[in-house]
Amino acid sequence: QSVLTQPPSVSGAPGQRVTISCSGGSSNIGAGYDVHWYQQLPGTVPKLLIYANSNRPSGVPDRFSGSKSGTSASLAITGLQAEDEADYYCQSFDSSLSVVFGGGTKLTVL
């Protein structure tokens, strides 16, 4: 059972917009800790996609955006492309002094 809760799967057609939620609690996201997102393409290493809630590392398309509110965060992908099909993980920090991850969300591009 992951500390952060994500939907197991989401899907969308090419060109559409999808969102992935990440729900935490008062000891992690709600305590003010930032949320980060990783994209893991099939058979590859997780790659940093969004850091500190809404910032994109160099090279990440602006189709990807993140937000945080209260005890939750969201990743939005607009203009969905086939190459976006991957697993997405949120990550934060918990007051128990642990890095915590969401269980991951599998994005299927229909």
Partner 1 sequence: QVQLQESGPGLVKPSETLSLTCTVSGGSVNSGDYYWSWIRQPPGKGLEWIGYIFYSGSTTYNPSLKSRVSMTLDTSKNQFSLELTSVTAADTAIYYCARDKGSGYWLDPWGQGSLVTVSS
Binding site for partner 1 (CB under 8 A): 2, 33-34, 36, 38, 45-48, 51-52, 57, 89, 91-93, 96-104
CB of 36 to partner 1, least distance (A): 4
3-state secondary structure 75-108: EEECCCCHHHCEEEEEEEEECCCEEEEECCEEEE
CB of 78 to partner 1, least distance (A): 22
Nearer to partner 1, 48 or 76 (CB): 48
Nearer to partner 1, 51 or 76 (CB): 51
CB of 61 to partner 1, least distance (A): 17
Contact 74, 23 (CB under 8 A): no
Q: Which residue has the tokens 């935490």?
A: 24
Nearer to partner 1, 14 or 70 (CB): 70
Nearer to partner 1, 82 or 97 (CB): 97
Buried b (16+ CB within 10 A) or exposed e, 49-86: bbbebeebeeebeeebbbebeebbbbbebeebeeebeb
CB of 84 to partner 1, least distance (A): 19
Q: Which residue has the tokens 């937000």?
A: 67
